[in-house]
Amino acid sequence: MPLVTTKELLLKAQEGHYAVGAFNVENMEMVQAVVAAAEELNAPVIMQTTPSTLKYADADYFYANVKTAAQKAKVPVVMHLDHGNSFDLAMKAYRAGYTSIMIDGSHELFDENIRLTKSVVDACHAAGVPVEAELGKVGGKEDDLEGGEGNPYTVPSEAVEFVNATDVDSLAVAIGTAHGVYKGIPKLDVERLSEIREVVSIPLVLHGTSGVPDEAVKDCISRGICKVNYATDLRIAFTKGVKEYMEKNPDAFDPKKYNSAGREEVKQYVMSKIKVCGSVDKA
């Protein structure tokens, strides 16, 4: 089917008290793996790319991969820009055909975050493309994404003001998760999440979820999270499959052979997280 937007998917998830898995893809095999997992479980799915991924290959390349996969799929597929770090990049993804855009102004001062987010919302809404924003700072480091200093948490009262001022469609909240690989067990401020849910009506998003225990993710979903992002663990899974294949077949030289092993590892990982999100048979 054609690519869809996050708008309806996340509103349905919010109403049904589940989340849609959002998976960062780095190559064709990862795109194939995510769609295969979603189809096997009859689940909606979001595929996304970060600014550093789009430095490696242009947005048009990734859009073409995901669009092709979506057209062959029987489940809803979204193409999303993750952590868009400028108006220009957001518009580049928008023009390439992405069906959902994130603009991340969380490292800016509050008023500048509002201004930047509103400018992207105004441009995207004109064509019916939904926008995700971030308030607070998700910690850690992944690609070129690095947590900021100071109070990293989303303040509920600021979240209300931000959403009202920007008309954004979904909001990524900072409650103690971090990008990249965790060095310990993350401690999430789930009460803060519940407070945000009470005062903000739009779908909420959880970033930095790779490495967060499944039960903790489920708790966050029960408290209002409608979109859950996974990135680092997909890369780890793909690399694991390739390494294991090469260890068993050291003379292998055909990329199709070892990349297919990585693809299978990613598929199994994505299936496990779709089940955590509770989106099985929600397509």
Instruction: Return d(Cα 262, Cα 139) in angstroms, integer.
Output: 28
Check if the beta carbon of residue 225 is closer than 8 Å to that of residue 205: yes
Instruction: Return d(Cα 123, Cα 111) in angstroms, integer.
Output: 19
What CA dihedral angle connects 82, 87, 89 and 91, to 10 degrees? 100
| Banded pLDDT at 266 (limits 50, 70, 90) | very high
| Banded pLDDT at 275 (limits 50, 70, 90) | very high
DSSP-assigned states of every residue in 111-168: HHHHHHHHHHHHHHHTTT--EEEEES--EEEETTEE--SS--SPPHHHHHHHHHHH--
Domain ranges within the chain, ordered by starting residue: 6-236+270-277
| Banded pLDDT at 148 (limits 50, 70, 90) | very low
Beta strand residue intervals within the chain, DSSP E: 20-24, 45-49, 77-84, 100-103, 131-135, 139-142, 145-146, 170-173, 178-179, 204-206, 225-230
Amino acid at 227: K
DSSP-assigned states of every residue in 133-144: EEES--EEEETT
SS3 content of the chain, % helix, strand, coil (to 5): 50, 15, 35
Render pLDDT for 181-239 as a digit per residue (tens, 0 to 9): 555 667 899 999 999 999 999 999 999 887 889 999 999 999 999 999 999 999 999 99
Q: What is the pTM of this model?
A: 0.92
Q: What percent of the chain has pLDDT over 90?
A: 87
Class of the CATH-defined domain 6-236+270-277: alpha beta
CA 156 to chain centre: 22
Determine which one of 58, 60, 82, 169 is catalytic.
82
Q: Is 169 a catalytic residue?
A: no
Which residues does 24 contact at the CB level (< 8 Å), separation at least 6?
Answer: 47, 48, 49, 50, 53, 82, 229, 230, 231, 234, 235
pLDDT at 273 over 60: yes
Render pLDDT for 63-106 as a digit per residue (tens, 0 to 9): 999 999 999 999 999 999 999 999 999 999 999 999 999 999 99
Instruction: Return d(Cα 79, Cα 58) in angstroms, integer.
Output: 14
